[in-house]
Structure 1
Amino acid sequence: MSEAGRAVTVLLLPPMLCAPAEVYARIAALGGEARFDWSRRFDKRFKDSHRFAIADTRGRLELTVPIAKPQSSHCRWDEIRISDHGQWWDVHRVALESAYGRTPYFEFYIDRLLPMLTDGVCGRYPLLRDLAGAWDSWIRKTLELPAATDAESAPLTVCEAGPADREIVLPQYWQIRADKLGFISGLSVLDLIFNLGPEAVIYLDRL
């Protein structure tokens, strides 16, 4: 990571929840000098901010965190609160268990993820950015990537992510149901982590 006090150039990515492996591959290539920009104006059409994809027994599955109705049409993403509608945390946990419960490393990771997947999550992470930040912190730690740069810890020079920063094509990696479903690309980085475990770090290093 950059030395304290030295200006840091940071790539700003659109706000995302459990972003695709392709996005974290880009973050890894930048040595962690990228972060998700939750200060952007809220746009209900941008679903990646509260939705991510996994591969379950039948193929691609989208998991959505419901959000509360914004108080203003001019609000920002970092003001959006999550909703407890449908007890979505149970849906997500069961879906992840069904999709990855038989992978070699699922049991090693799941206990650490329970704060984001159990009752009370809306109290622990009332804002969508809080929940996404908790996931991002765990993902970075698991992939041995530096924590997201804090604007208060170092002077920042920011640059916006372009199409090339999001349209990376990754080499195929082992997926537990590839023999049945074929390789599925564009999934949340959680798919990479659950399938490869610690080898996910090596996979990113070799890109």
Structure 2
Amino acid sequence: MSILIHPAYFPSISTFAAMAQAETITFEMDDNFQKQTNRNRMYIYSPNGIQLLNIPVKHSREHAHQKTRDIKLETAFDWQKQHFKSLEAAYRSSPFFEYFEDAIMPIFEKNYMFLMDLNLETIDIVSRCLKLDLKYTNTTEYFKDASGLKDFRYLANGKKDNAQLEPYTQVFGEKHGFLNNLSVLDLLFNEGRHALDYLKRQRL
């Protein structure tokens, strides 16, 4: 299976399942940025249930439509510190948080200018944690129809992603029940080395 997919911020489990099952991967680099999508947000399982972590971005006053590749991060406040504290509160007691903590830490310490650079690095880091040999190419222009590729670009819009995934043990599952299709970090911190096999089993 050859797929076309959006690079997102610590992508959803369904996004990583599509990549884990693909033979070739092409990342969409030339679409227009859309607000309120997973391009700059992820969902985690907090002690109070589902929690949205959103990256603030700069919006151009001159251009109504900006390509995602050109979107810059807003640096007026320390969103990285806030996001890591939220991850700690959510996953410090999970089986594998401490095992992978050092691997993900650069995302919360490095200064990024562009959202796309950040997203690609989150994908590379998680792939290494999963021991997933991820090779991909990037688009050089935008096509509405993905000729010859299975189009998974809709997965970046969580409202259009209806994947129903196999339940696994989550830290606060006894309190709030199973929360479906969160950020891949939820799977990684809870399932560790079993996460890649899980991704390859899911039906999309």
Q: Is the 8 A contact 1:22 1:167 kept in 2?
A: no
Alpha-carbon spacing, 1:48–1:34, altered in 2? closer, same or farther (3 Å): same
CA drift at 1:126: 1.2
- Amino acid of the residue matched to residue 53 of structure 1? Y
Pairing of 1:36-115 with structure 2 (within 5 A): 36-44=27-35, 46-70=36-60, 72-115=63-106
CA drift at 1:197: 0.9
TM-score computed with the length of structure 1 as normaliser = 0.82
- 1:130-159 deviation line (CA, Å, top 9, x unaligned): 00000011112222323241359xxx9545
Q: Does 1:178 align with 2:163?
A: no
Structure 2 residue matching 1:85: 3-state secondary structure: coil
Pairing of 1:155-170 with structure 2 (within 5 A): 158-161=149-152, 166-170=161-165
Structure 2 residue matching 1:86: 3-state secondary structure: coil
- Amino acid of the residue matched to residue 21 of structure 2? A
- 1:76-131 deviation line (CA, Å, top 9, x unaligned): 0000011113200010010000000011211111112121112xx33xx2110000
Q: Find 2:3's aligned residue among 6, 11, 15.
A: 11
Alpha-carbon spacing, 1:85–1:36, altered in 2? closer, same or farther (3 Å): farther
- Amino acid of the residue matched to residue 61 of structure 1? Q
- With 87-96 and 70-79 compared, the bigger mean Cα shift is at 70-79
Matched length: 190
TM-score computed with the length of structure 2 as normaliser = 0.83
Could you say what the CA RMSD is over the residues aligned between the two structures, in angstroms? Answer: 2.4
Structure 1 residue matching 2:165: 3-state secondary structure: coil
CA drift at 1:166: 4.2
In structure 2, the gaps of 5 or more residues are 140-146
- With 91-100 and 73-82 compared, the bigger mean Cα shift is at 73-82
Alpha-carbon spacing, 1:140–1:35, altered in 2? closer, same or farther (3 Å): farther
In structure 1, the gaps of 5 or more residues are 1-8
- Amino acid of the residue matched to residue 66 of structure 2? C
Q: Is the 8 A contact 1:53 1:60 kept in 2?
A: yes
